[in-house]
Amino acid sequence: MRKITYPLAAVIIFFASAFTFVQSQNWKIEDNYSVKFDGGDPSGEFSGLKGTISFDDKNLTASKFDVTLDVASINTGNGMKNTHAKSEKWLDATKYPTIKFTSSSIAKTASGYEAKGILDMQGVQKEIAFPFTFGGNTFAGSFEVNRLDYNINTAEPTHGSAKFKVSVSVPVTKQ
Amino acid sequence: MFKKIFFQSLFAGILASIAGLIYNRIYLFATLADFSKVLNTGSIIGLNIMVCILAGMIYWILVKSLKKKGDILFGFLFSIISFACVMIPISISLPLKIQSPELFPGLGVPMVFFPVVAWFTIKPLFNLANIDI
């Protein structure tokens, strides 16, 4: 009996240690997501959302958002405004083709969760907080962005809106 | 006189609607851009008839109050307003579900001229220039 004590202990520890590598659940972004921005005039949406979402409400430290938006996919509902938005004067889709958000931490809050991370837009990286909820396999939340913080057409700070409310709704399925 | 102007406006509205519907079909065929949520058979007929009837009412008021000068003034007014209306399809924000909004001005801009063209095309048939005003 004594002979197998240590081998048995080794096997138990080996298998038990496997559970320490708990990975967060990966989620696949469904096609019917929406990323809308509202600044009065203009308002609209982006349709080119890609990236990886790892989220487990029981293991928030291992959870992470790493998503990008295709700037050229902007749609304000007006062709002229779309062309202007993608131009060098505004979002400069040629030089900065994507808007990126990478979370650094996700924490539980009273109303849901909050992801803190870096929003990379037009070559400017700023930390933002993104409060969101997760239910029915859908991430939903909103945050505010000031375009002047990202050097977007700073020459005309009063042209249109400077602050935009970004509302995100992303249905997902387990990977 | 109002009856004559009314029928002229109505026929102008019908003519503009027919032109609008034909152009709408041609544009859909050429670009495959579907703007039927904004411009469809109902809205094309409704808008053209409404604009022409409204134009007729304004025409009646102008010729009633300014006589012959009203007729001339109306011609300028209708043309200038039509030209200014070019900005509507260019600046309008369509519902976000509609694809290729950049193609909408190509459909909408010519259409804003259909009522005025139809109105002045129909006008000689009703001989309104020679009516006793």
Inform me whether the pLDDT recorded for B65 exceeds 70. Answer: yes
Inform me whether the pLDDT recorded for B102 exceeds 70. Answer: yes
Identify the CA nearest to A123 among candidates A144, A151, A82, A101: A151
Is B91 in contact with A80 (Cβ distance < 8 A)?
Answer: yes
pLDDT tens, residue by residue, A7-61:
777 677 666 655 555 567 889 999 989 999 998 888 999 998 999 999 998 889 9
pLDDT score, position B128? 53
Within a domain: residue B133?
A: no
- Rounded to the nearest angstrom, the minimum Cα separation between B123 and chain A is 36
What average pLDDT is seen over chain B? 91
Residue B61 CA to residue B70 CA, distance in Å, equals: 8
Within a domain: residue B122?
A: yes
**A76 in contact with B at a CB cutoff of 8 Å?**
yes
| Domains annotated on chain A, with CATH | 24-174 (2.40.128.110)
Within a domain: residue B81?
A: yes
pLDDT tens, residue by residue, B67-78:
889 999 999 999
Does the reported pTM lie above 0.80? no
Identify the CA nearest to A174 among candidates A56, A33, A34: A56
pLDDT score, position B17? 96
pLDDT tens, residue by residue, A63-82:
999 999 999 999 999 999 99
pLDDT tens, residue by residue, A153-173:
988 888 888 899 999 999 999
Within a domain: residue B21?
A: yes
Is B92 in contact with A78 (Cβ distance < 8 A)?
Answer: yes
Within a domain: residue B44?
A: yes
Residue range B7-32: average pLDDT? 94
What ipTM score was computed for the predicted complex, to two decimals?
A: 0.70
Of B95, B96, B103, the CB nearest to A79: B103
Q: Note whether A43 and A167 are within 8 A (CB).
A: no
Q: Note whether A45 and A33 are within 8 A (CB).
A: no
Number of domains chain B is built from: 1
Query: Domain range holding B117?
Result: 2-91+98-127
